Structure 1
């Protein structure tokens, strides 16, 4: 796909629709041709969320049907979508600022959001303003969308798809319901067409209970370790049932520590590998805290996409910051925010299955997609929480055969899909936690199907 405009845009002058100052509701800047827009929305006094919009070169002025927009929600919690999702997964340019052949911009307009406040380029003016729940995040992100309907000309007539990864799935569930309710109340003029949950942390209990049988089945744990790991998982389950959210998160971290010790440090994002061996990861030094280790691993997992000359930290604090112009002068971008991660300690282990049921009841398309070799948000765990849905179409959905999917000229099945009414499930073969990185061809084909993009 020829996309020279995005590579050259780093050198182009800017136009400004508003100036950033304390108390402003929104400020928007962009490239002269309107192919990119970005800015801050002050969602609460002192709390600033940063967004970046890309207009697809495939969008035409008179499309045969409405052209879709994908809003990407990164996980962590506290990982930067504007940095990681954009430059390391699905955006138009890679970390070397060269065109990405598998960019999702071929199938939709893209919006990346550094969410919640305190993540990436987003910031708070004092530390009391971090969100402590998924729903607080949803209120802030809904405020961003209310602003963007006015700031981004294409958004109001474009079907919107929330696409999430990892903890971002909890953001997408709550944000999706928040948007749907706002639309139904006449407070937001937008079309929420779908929510897609990639290896998403929707039900921490179900994922935790899946670790031991999965790792036993692939020989990363033996029976002795499996018995002890199951006991630790049961402790997590009991604490979740009792509403002991912070305690359950600590027990979950203890379980991950135990698994690391007994499995030879299996890579929790890809059970075929050891921690630090993944071709898109770098080793992380032990900090003595399982949660800190996991959080640090998340932020560095994709980093070998960085070239010898460019790193994600380097470009985000260098040429990208210079291009954007509106990032506060002394502000330092980071891949992962510790403050955001720990502020959500009492919400981290809460499930969001009820929100998925609510979205299904509204007729919103819900897609679950999962990488075959992921552990932390395993396919087994995703299947388990899907079976807990109260949606009236579930029994029929579960009874249907899966369909194999192929991709391009490559041989062999790349994925399976099952669909019924507005629920869809993709099993992505050969992928770990980061599906667009591990299987870019089938991921691009999948997003085309999800959005029903007019582009071939």
Structure 2
């Protein structure tokens, strides 16, 4: 072999090596700067209904779990997407909203005939990190504010649209129940903002707040009145609650949000032990309790336990996780206490500025529905902040006549509706209207999403 041939061979080899090195560097640079990756779960699944379950792995933070069910009708992309979040003190959407309320299967894994997927695309997101199947790399990575949580949800939505590009123009509605209302508002505001421009295409149409913890200190000012009028406490109990409310409001006004939260989070014990109610579930006040009944943050978990008669959290860990292919080292809702602690400095901050921003600066619908049996987000307290919103359409909203919501000749509630802002008073429903009044909630959903 000639010396010239050897030189050519060596040059070719060196060329391949250089190309490989350059390719590796390009790959390394791209992957190193990628802010998230998508881990699509490949378990056997539950039933025959199509779904996508995945983690959005956010670099340096953790994994956000999301579960998407496309609607059953053939033309899926024209049906709205319902994105559901529940926040810090509620029950993860992958559990309650999904199996307990309107997902395709119930807790017995029987297909639900009245599931929302008959008419809507459903996207359940366990947020913030540390709730549901969403896991943080460490407790220090659990977000303690809405901005960081919104960042995580933006990555999650971007990963959703990467896997489902056909849905970019599909109408999107963000639903937030309880504290999830604050998260829904912050996410809607960020998506609606043009500065900075969005990283992905979407078609956000509105935000829907269910028994939202939007201005908790203000809502608390009406709790004593609410409980006394219903006979759960007397005048002394009302005075005690109003003193607590004044303390909480003073702490919020003085910027002592952590102190305000520590008082607010003990509301159930305070009402029962110091205001004389003895055994009231604040999330569903007609729920009869014993003196010894254990109470979670605001009674929702206990009510769910009684409603379905099973350990739903074990069901998620032992049945759902293996079916989806979730790693065995992921424990369902294991870090809830750490999440609550992380949000202590921000939970009590009013989210009404987000509502006003959306009403002033966008054409999005803002819809509020409130179960009248929820004492924490009691309806008189909710109307305190709703009736004091500052935006150009407020006078039209306040002067619009209230109408009756009738289904099958039964009065399910009342509503006041303008093109931009709607409020629904829901009878015989607590913290979760879709759970307590499913037919009425479907009517509300149709009114929200269907053109008038």
Q: What TM-score comes out, normalization by structure 2 length?
A: 0.85
Structure-2 residue corresponding to 1:37: 52
Q: CA deviation at 1:161?
A: 0.4
2: CA distance between counterparts of 1:318 and 1:201? 31
* SS state at 1:404 partner: strand
Structure-2 residue corresponding to 1:264: 278
Structure-2 residue corresponding to 1:215: 227
Structure-1 residue corresponding to 2:432: 434
Stretch deviating more after TM superposition (115-124 or 245-254): 245-254
Alignment of 1:206-285 (within 5 A): 206-261=218-273, 262-275=276-289, 284-285=293-294
Which segments of 5 or more consecutive residues in structure 1 lack a partner in the other structure?
Answer: 1-21, 278-282, 286-292
> Is 1:345 the equivalent of 2:344?
yes
1:322-373 residue CA offsets vs partner (Å, 9 max, x unmatched): 2211x22222213871111111000111110000111122111000000111
1: CA distance between counterparts of 2:443 and 2:246? 39
Structure-2 residue corresponding to 1:294: 296
2: CA distance between counterparts of 1:453 and 1:363? 14
1: CA distance between counterparts of 2:222 and 2:176? 21
1:242-284 residue CA offsets vs partner (Å, 9 max, x unmatched): 010011112224554331121122220122333469xxxxx85
* SS state at 2:132 partner: coil
Rate the CA distance shift 1:203–1:275 in 2: closer, same or farther, 3 A. Answer: farther
Alignment of 1:400-439 (within 5 A): 400-407=400-407, 410-439=408-437
* SS state at 1:270 partner: coil
Alignment of 1:171-210 (within 5 A): 171-181=183-193, 185-210=197-222
Structure-1 residue corresponding to 2:365: 365
Alignment of 1:16-415 (within 5 A): 25-29=37-41, 35-60=50-75, 66-77=78-89, 79-181=91-193, 185-261=197-273, 262-275=276-289, 284-285=293-294, 293-295=295-297, 297-306=299-308, 311-325=311-325, 327-334=326-333, 337-361=336-360, 362-407=362-407, 410-415=408-413
Q: CA deviation at 1:46?
A: 3.9
Rate the CA distance shift 1:364–1:184 in 2: closer, same or farther, 3 A. Answer: farther
* SS state at 1:406 partner: strand
Q: CA deviation at 1:173?
A: 0.9
Rate the CA distance shift 1:276–1:190 in 2: closer, same or farther, 3 A. Answer: farther
**8 A contact 2:223–2:375 mirrored in 1:** yes
1: CA distance between counterparts of 2:154 and 2:354? 15
**8 A contact 2:130–2:334 mirrored in 1:** no
1: CA distance between counterparts of 2:74 and 2:355? 30
Q: CA deviation at 1:78?
A: 6.2
Q: What TM-score comes out, normalization by structure 1 length?
A: 0.85
2: CA distance between counterparts of 1:57 and 1:405? 28
* SS state at 2:411 partner: coil
* SS state at 2:200 partner: coil
1: CA distance between counterparts of 2:289 and 2:202? 42
Q: Give the total of aligned pairs.
A: 413
Structure-1 residue corresponding to 2:442: 444
Rate the CA distance shift 1:174–1:23 in 2: closer, same or farther, 3 A. Answer: closer
2: CA distance between counterparts of 1:425 and 1:230? 26
2: CA distance between counterparts of 1:86 and 1:209? 33
* SS state at 2:392 partner: coil
1:289-346 residue CA offsets vs partner (Å, 9 max, x unmatched): xxxx432833333123445xx6422331123112211x22222213871111111000
Q: CA deviation at 1:140?
A: 0.8
CA-based RMSD of the aligned residues comes to 2.5
Q: CA deviation at 1:417?
A: 1.5
* SS state at 2:123 partner: strand
**8 A contact 2:268–2:298 mirrored in 1:** no
CA radius of gyration, larger in: 2
2: CA distance between counterparts of 1:76 and 1:284? 22
1: CA distance between counterparts of 2:436 and 2:377? 15
